[in-house]
Structure 1
Amino acid sequence: MSHVSSQPAHGQSPLRTVQVLGGGSAGSSTHVRSLAAGLVARGVRVTVCAPVEVAHVYGFADVGAQHVTVPRSSDPGSVAALRVACADADLVHAHGLHAALRASLALSGRTTPLVVTWHTRSHAEGARAHLLRLLERRVARAASVVLGTSSDLVERARVRGARDAR
């Protein structure tokens, strides 16, 4: 088993990850807080992009992460704020479909790896179902890796064109 250290080689800065949350459901927000705490403990610089109310409830700064306020909306201002926050990231990890869509737009034209976690299955009917499939396809194809919290979400990501789904 190989060991990858997050400690920088001589003269290099520590690795930096950006965690992107959308609406901040309890499950994904708790997950991000846990990830941030573990990464910070290993010397990784962590930035959490989330609405201000989510950051207050989950206390990302309390575990050593930097918080950047990014509203849940997909308007150009939110995407621009994410683009700035991700400027020097070594990896961006988006949690949920909408956060992943915004992150993929913010990373457009960049080579920064995007990891996406699908925490829950979205459901829609009619025209909204078609739009949902398009969004899922866009996100699945933009991601370096799609992680699903269940086997049906992993399979859904594969069907939508994910290069690597686990």
Structure 2
Amino acid sequence: MRIVFVIGTSTGGVGTHVRALARELTAAGHEIGVIGPAATDEHFGFSLLPGVRFGVLELGTGIGASDAALIRRQRILLRSFAPQIVHAHGFRAGLITHLTLRTVKTRPKFVLSLHNRASGQGLRGKVETRVETMLARGADLVLGASTDLVDRARGLGARTARFLPAAAPEVTPVSAEAAAATRATLAEEFDFDPGALIVLAVGRVAKQKNYPMLVRGLVRLGDDLPDKATNPPGSASPARLGEGNRQDDIVVLIAGAADEEVLADVRARYADAAAASAIPALHFLGPRDDIAELAAAADIYALTSVWEARALVLQEALISGKAIVATATGGSAELVGDAGILIDDDDDAAFAAAVAELAVDPARRAALGAEARARGAKLPDEREVAEELAGLYTELVSAQVG
């Protein structure tokens, strides 16, 4: 089959997903093209994949007068690719693709993948719902990365909507020695005890990740901890956290690129909280290429997002066998299941309680880690997801021929 993927600006899970699909489907003998911004290609290297053709389409994030030029440009690109299937990922790519396909004489099958939910309020929310409805009804097939997205598409009138997961990433096994070395390096760099309990969060510092809730949770943890000066090591204490029952027994690390405005806000919130009372340490690591090592060195993996479809980082945590504390939003609950502690969105008290429970109970952490590893071993990999998608494409093309 001749298949074209359309993708907007991406630096995270969506681009990773599309790259894996392009690679696996090309290897299976299909002709693959990818249309999207040059920066997205630079980040993911679509044009470097053997057999994959890339066409530049500078999809911005907002609707405007320039969309007419984008439609003309995409029509030219599609004519050169002559696809049987056009598969757009996300609202922006979906909208431009839908409008473009309305202008072509011979229309290929249109598949839309939803990776995020619309979150606009007021007038913006109404506009987003109208766009969602148009896309859901205009696509031949809508795919949701979580079942709530599938239900949403069906409710808006999609003729066919199905669940297709973003594949589990490949996680390189990390030895105990390497994990210990990473922990020691982090402890030296950020000046904390190598024996501290490490809570790791991975993901772009952006509003969706809701790190202000994490900061509020740290304040609650700090309230439960006696001050180091009044509770010297080895003394008896009723506190619940850490081997030494002090604030410095827990350290939180956040790895990922950042929206600078959001990062500044989170830093300021933390600084104000730390000035008012003693709370666990929080360090921002920035973008990292050693996530597997960081996960292996950590004791708890945390995800505080207001919503996630099927977070790749949660899948990495499962495969790595980490005890997980995550908000039960979108597809996270169905992904994690019993392999972690699930809390309500924006519930800092529940977050603090979950970390507190795991901090003093290594057996519980180990049990959750074992359950996570077992669950992670059952996640579909990139080839399996690509094969499932190819089957759905075949159904569409066969129906068209029939």
Q: How far has the Cα of 1:77 moved from its partner?
A: 1.4
Q: Deviations over 1:29-48 (max 9, x none)?
A: 11110010011112211111
Q: Deviations over 1:90-132 (max 9, x none)?
A: 1000000110011111111543111110011120111111100
Q: Give me the whole-angstrom Cα distance separating, in 1, the residues matched to 2:136 and 2:109.
A: 13
If you compute each CA radius of gyration, which structure gives the higher value, 1 or 2?
2
Check if 1:96 corresponds to 2:97. Answer: no
Aligned residue type for 1:103? T
- 1:55 matched residue in structure 2: 41
Q: Deviations over 1:126-160 (max 9, x none)?
A: 11111001000111111111000111100110111
Structure 2: gaps of 5 or more residues = 163-402
Which TM-score applies when normalising by structure 1?
A: 0.87
Task: Select which of 70, 88, 107 maps to 2:57.
Answer: 70
Check if 1:114 corresponds to 2:114. Answer: no
Q: Give me the whole-angstrom Cα distance separating, in 1, the residues matched to 2:118 and 2:72.
A: 26
- 1:8 matched residue in structure 2: none
Q: Give me the whole-angstrom Cα distance separating, in 2, the residues matched to 1:94 and 1:42.
A: 20
Q: Give me the whole-angstrom Cα distance separating, in 2, the residues matched to 1:39 and 1:80.
A: 27
Which TM-score applies when normalising by structure 2?
A: 0.37
Q: Give me the whole-angstrom Cα distance separating, in 2, the residues matched to 1:159 and 1:22.
A: 25
Secondary structure at the residue paired with 1:86?
Answer: helix
Q: Deviations over 1:49-98 (max 9, x none)?
A: 11001101100122221111101135111111111222211100000011
The correspondence of residues 24-35 of structure 1 with structure 2, limited to 5 A, is 24-35=10-21
Secondary structure at the residue paired with 2:142?
Answer: strand
Q: Give me the whole-angstrom Cα distance separating, in 2, the residues matched to 1:42 and 1:121.
A: 31
CA contact 1:86–1:107 (8 Å) conserved in 2: no
Task: Select which of 11, 16, 22 maps to 2:2.
Answer: 16
Secondary structure at the residue paired with 1:92?
Answer: strand
Secondary structure at the residue paired with 2:161?
Answer: coil
Extract structure 1 runs of 4+ deviating beyond 3 A: none
- 1:140 matched residue in structure 2: 136
Q: Give me the whole-angstrom Cα distance separating, in 1, the residues matched to 2:132 and 2:37.
A: 22
Structure 1: gaps of 5 or more residues = 1-14
**Structure 1 residues 135, 25: CA separation in 2 closer, same or farther (over 3 Å shift)?**
farther
CA contact 1:113–1:144 (8 Å) conserved in 2: yes
Task: Select which of 68, 80, 103 maps to 2:72.
Answer: 80
CA contact 2:83–2:108 (8 Å) conserved in 1: yes
Q: Give me the whole-angstrom Cα distance separating, in 2, the residues matched to 1:46 and 1:95.
A: 15
- 2:147 matched residue in structure 1: 151
Higher share in helix:
2
Aligned residue type for 2:73? A
Q: Share of identical aligned residues, percent?
A: 35
